[in-house]
Amino acid sequence: MSVLEVPTKGRSTFWRGGMRFAQTLCLAGTALVLPVVATAGTSEEADLAVSVSVVPSVFGPGSRGTVALTLHNLGPGPSGDPDMGVFATWVFQRGFRLEVPSDRPPYEIRGPVSGCSIVEEIVGPFVDLSFGLVWTYYFQILQPGESRTCTFQIEFYPRAFDSFDTHWRTATSPTDPNPNNNRVDYRFIFGAPYVEPIPVPATNWQGLSLLLVGMGGLAFAQRRQVLRSPPVRVSAE
């Protein structure tokens, strides 16, 4: 399993919520780019920007973390078309290559999820008979000047993995005046697994003081006893 990089085009099948339907895909280099991206988003001009925060910065086998994905609408219009429903603004994450549909990426998304709705899609097979996994983050319509953060938990599988790059990209429309801020890149770094420190019991200073005083008194008593011992007489032969 690796990050999806399939520079080809093809017709694939999606599974969403148990429903199966055909969709033509364009896989451009390193990311899944859906044709609907070119027309989805807003009927008015809206400058959408995306940012992300991930804690912690280094992950190991079995590590858990928190991702905060924030979508900003810099205006001047709303972020989505009301005719497309409440969750009319969405963000795609770079896909993962799967050798078979049952394969899994390095980590899973865990609840609770707040601020958006997340949908997982299995895409394929492609010309090399592999599949792809894509997470899509659906946001409610954002008014000009509004931001909304989607927060969720991730958990890595208890196995080693190579550090890898990913990115999140807004589903922009041709009316976005600034497409340069529609994507945020992030690198998941592999490191040693986090180990909970072993708590050290609090030191009882009063007991330690009494112990030291007792040891000092014993040493003094032994010294006095040695000094007061009668000298050893050596008889001359």
For residue 73, give the nearest of 175, 160, 167 by alpha carbon. Answer: 175
pTM for the full model?
0.65
Q: What is the pLDDT of residues 126-137, one digit of tens each?
A: 999 899 999 999
Between 49 and 208, the higher pLDDT residue: 49
User: What is the number of other CB atoms lying within 10 angstroms of the CB of residue 172?
Assistant: 21
Give the residue from 109, 108, 134 showing the smallest Cα distance to 16: 134
Kindly give the residue spans of alpha helices, DSSP state H, lying in the chain: 205-228
Cis peptide before 56 (omega within 30 of 0): yes
Calculate mean pLDDT across residues 168-192.
Answer: 87
Q: Which two tokens stand for residue 224?
A: 């006095």
Per the CB < 8 A criterion, the answer to whether 15 and 41 are in contact is no
Q: Which candidate, 12, 36, 6, 37, places its Cα nearest to that of 24?
A: 12
